[in-house]
Amino acid sequence: MKRRILLLLLCLFAVTGSFQAFAQKSVYLRTNTCGAFWNSSGNEKALNAVLGEGNWQYKYFETVDVASLLTKDIDFLFIEGSNCGTEEMVAFLDNHRAAIENWVSEGGNLLLNAAPNEGPDLIQVGFGDLLLTWVGDGSFGAFGESANPNHPMFKGPLTPTGSVWSGGAFAHFQVFGSDLSSVIKDAESAEVYLAEKEWGNGSVMVGGLTLAYFQEEFKAWAPIQEVSNIHKNLISYMARGRKGSETSEEPVTEVPAEEEEISAVVIEALTNNSFCQGTEVSVPFTATGTFNTGNTFSVQLSDASGNFSSFTTIGTVVGTGSGEIKVTVPANLSFGTNYRIRVVASSPEIASESYAVVINPLPAITAPAALTVNCTPGLCGATGVALGVPFITQNCVASLVNDAPATFPIGTTVVTWTLTDVAGNKATATQEVTVIGAIPVPAISGVSSEGVYVAGGEKVFYLGYGDSQVTLTASNSTSAPAATTYEWSSAAGLSNTTGASTVVQPTAGGVYTVSVTATNEFGCKATTSVTITVVDVRCGNKNDKVLVCHKGQEICVAPSAVQAHLDHGCSLGSCNGGEATATAASKVTGLQTEATSLVVYPNPFNESATIGFTLKQAGSYRLELMDVKGALVKEIAAGEGLAGSSYNYQLGNSKLLEGIYVVRIVTPGEVKTMKVIYKK
């Protein structure tokens, strides 16, 4: 190691010995917004090696005094606009282009180089039509060669320099303009990466070469020593003055550094450079040379514009050799295609060239448009509904699902679409599907020719006296009369089981429930029922007389005498039968139910439940859904109903949270409640 340092010092002395006269006459100008490590380490080393440490000045675009910079006291100006300093360089050129051109014309020597990772794709340098433009074919100088092997910078003071080099990203920009002397160009195209132009009594050297730091210390180009010599010779050539052809020094061959003493880090090719937020990614890297014990390799992520001035460390590993780093992509990034990553070692402090990556957006979804469809014929609902395709902005999709039922019920159903990415991030959107149709709301009315004697608020037939049959008629308020069919059922005798009307004619005492199921034109069904109590008051040997309770005594009288007994306070039937007194005035032409009933099915429910109730008496009603704390969730229905009529409503799961609810029916005479459970 001591021998290597001694030889290198001897070589540098040979290079710098004749430059003491240039003290403070050379200026290195760059931005101060990027870290000094990233933007200057290679150039600083080359300047120190050629001019000698302390024999050149450091200036910044943002703070330099241009009036004192562009004077005859300054012979050599090196402007560097690579990486994250391009925008500042462009602003400096735009503001001072005429002054710079005049300074060169009066004998100044300008070296301007820019290999940017930001800024415009075309830079107007000035000096007539001198331009720097992005390498259009994407080759980035895959191969470079000396365009003019006889140019002084390839003859010394350091040799060898070679004529052809191989590697990656030798340049980012190419040079265009008239009256140019090509110095370095691509071996497989006409792209010029370094060129010289005479301007008055001075000269301009313009290039799009990547920083010396990348090419030399990263080992991105080979032979490394020849590339290193090129950078130093370029500074030496420009700092020596006009064309540098008057130098009397003999070429000095720099002793190659020992390969194992040059440490470098290179990111290997990623299998996918499109990152999903919140996911884990492996970043493989190759580390060459010597790293100190306790060294940490870190993966740094730039901002959305590719700038590392405020980087984020997303993964680390402790080690001294090649490997891979598991990184977690932050979940709070904005979408971008200009992010970059790099691997940075801590000891020694070096970094890889940055690698372009894309940060995908968090999942976002827009549901298909709302739909209105007809019922499937014969089915109370719609099947096979084509929902459409939602619009999503996500390249990291793990799943896309919706909660649409196989059969959509009549009415409006809210379908929720859920998009989930590979990191578990979710986004939802809703779509409404409306099925045209109606749910039957059947009702039963009853009429007898003579009337029905009523006792105790019940619907009572007194078999053996008065009317012994009643005609029941069904109706459906949600469809036209001809659009609904009916099916009747009862334990008592019915004149028929289909049609809108049927006649009930009991032949024995008891309690009878008569039900009717209405089916409308959409295939929807609903059922309601009415309960009838039959009291057999027949007596006598031939059952041709009527049993009457007369002052606590049961007597059997002719039918013609019954009304007179009733008018005097007697009652029909047995004295122990509990029948209340019936009077002629109590004859009615309709049926009245015993109490308002309430039923919910299925319970618990998943997609929807049917709520049914039968009114005790005619009047207003209000059907409500409450939470377990008694707060109103929604009003399901409200209206006017008939006594003894049954009504059915659908309760959907739209916007309901899983849990226990209370269904409540409110009428002028009573309130009934029932718990219902919703499970997803």
Same domain, 372 and 350: no
Give a yes or no: residue 591 inside a domain.
no
* Identity of residue 290: T
Domain that holds residue 243: 2-14+24-259
For the stretch 259-308, pLDDT in tens is 445 788 898 888 888 888 888 899 999 999 999 999 999 999 999 988 98
Q: Mention every residue, 6+ apart, whose C-beta is less than 8 A from residue 43.
A: 28, 30, 78, 80, 211, 212, 213
101 and 218 housed in the same domain:
yes
How buried is residue 167: exposed, middle or buried, by Cβ count under 10 Å (0-12/13-18/19+)?
buried
Whether 489 and 604 map to the same domain: the answer is no
The amino acid present at 594, given as its one-letter code, is: E
Q: What is the 3-state secondary structure (H, E, C) of 230-257?
A: HHHHHHHHHHCCHHHCCCCCCCEECCCC
Whether residue 527 is found in the same domain as residue 409: no
Whole-number Å distance between alpha carbons of 598 and 612: 6
Under the banding of pLDDT at 50, 70 and 90, the label for residue 247 is very low
Q: Are residues 84 and 220 in the same domain?
A: yes
In three-state secondary structure terms, 228 is: helix
In a domain, 91, yes or no: yes
Same domain, 462 and 348: no
pLDDT in tens, 55-83: 888 888 889 999 989 998 899 999 988 87
Residue % of the chain over a pLDDT of 90: 26
Residues 520 and 438: beta-carbon distance below 8 Å: yes
Query: Looking at residue 139, what is its pLDDT?
Result: 55
Kindly report the pTM of this predicted structure: 0.40
Query: Over the stretch 81-128, which tens digit does the pLDDT of each residue have?
Result: 887 888 899 999 999 999 999 999 999 999 998 888 788 888 899 999
What is the Cα 321 distance to its own chain's centre?
39
Chosen domain end from 259, 275, 310: 259
Residue 261: what pLDDT? 53
Q: How far is CA 56 from CA 39, 78, 213, 560, in A?
A: 17, 10, 19, 138
In this structure, is residue 254 part of a structural domain?
A: yes
* C-alpha of 455 from chain center: 68
What's the pLDDT score for residue 370? 96
Q: In this structure, are 528 and 606 located in the same domain?
A: no
DSSP assigned state of 215: I
- Identify whether 537 is part of a domain: yes
Report the 10 Å Cβ neighbour count for 629: 6
**Position with higher pLDDT, 574 vs 139:** 574
| Domain edge (last residue) among 531, 558, 586 | 586
Distance CA 352, CA 218 (A): 7
The Cα 521–Cα 483 span in angstroms is 5
Q: What per-residue confidence (pLDDT) applies to 291? A: 94
Q: At what angle do helices 224-239 and 36-51 cross, to 10 degrees?
A: 70
Between CA 12 and CA 9 the distance in angstroms is 5
Higher pLDDT, 435 or 613: 435
CA Rg value for the chain: 49
Buried b (16+ CB within 10 A) or exposed e, 231-262: bbbbbbbbbbbeebeebeeebbebeeeeeeeb
Decide: 510 and 498 in contact? Cβ < 8 Å: no
Residue-level pLDDT at 212: 64
Residue 242 structure tokens = 């006009």
Domain end position, chosen among 316, 336, 359:
359
CATH number, residue 544: 2.60.40.1080
pLDDT tens by residue, 496-553: 999 999 988 877 777 778 899 999 988 898 999 887 777 788 888 788 888 888 887 8
Is residue 43 within 8 Å of 26, Cβ to Cβ? no
Residue at 29 is within a domain: yes
Decide: helix, strand or coil at residue 86.
helix
646: pLDDT strictly greater than 80: no
Q: What is the pLDDT of residue 467?
A: 67
Q: In sequence order, what are the residues at sequence separation of 6 or more whose Cβ sits closer than 8 angstroms to the Cβ of residue 95?
A: none
CATH number of the structural domain spanning residue 285: 2.60.40.10
In a domain, 110, yes or no: yes
What is the pLDDT, as a whole number, of residue 260?
Answer: 43
CATH value at residue 215: 3.40.50.880
Residues 282 and 321 in one domain: yes
Residues 158 and 211 in one domain: yes
Q: Are residues 119 and 214 in the same domain?
A: yes
β-strand pairing of 296-301 with 336-346? antiparallel
Residue 592 within a domain: no
Q: Is the pLDDT of residue 481 over 80?
A: yes
**Is there a cis peptide before residue 604, judged by omega within 30 degrees of 0?**
yes
* pLDDT band for position 459 (cuts 50, 70, 90): low
Q: 446: which strand partners?
A: 472
- Whether the ω angle into residue 481 lies within 30 degrees of 0, i.e. cis, is no
Residue 19 placed within a domain = no
Q: Who's near 50: CB < 8 A, 6+ residues apart?
A: 15, 16, 19, 232, 235, 236, 239
The number of distinct structural domains making up the chain is 5
Give yes or no: residues 73 and 220 share one domain.
Answer: yes
| Domain harbouring 632, CATH code | 2.60.40.150
CA distance 298 to 326: 10
Give residue-wise pLDDT tens across range 327-352: 999 988 888 889 999 999 999 988 88
* 152 plus 236 within the same structural domain: yes
Q: Is the dihedral of CA 213, 219, 221, 227 positive or negative?
A: positive
Confidence of residue 397 (pLDDT cuts 50, 70, 90): confident
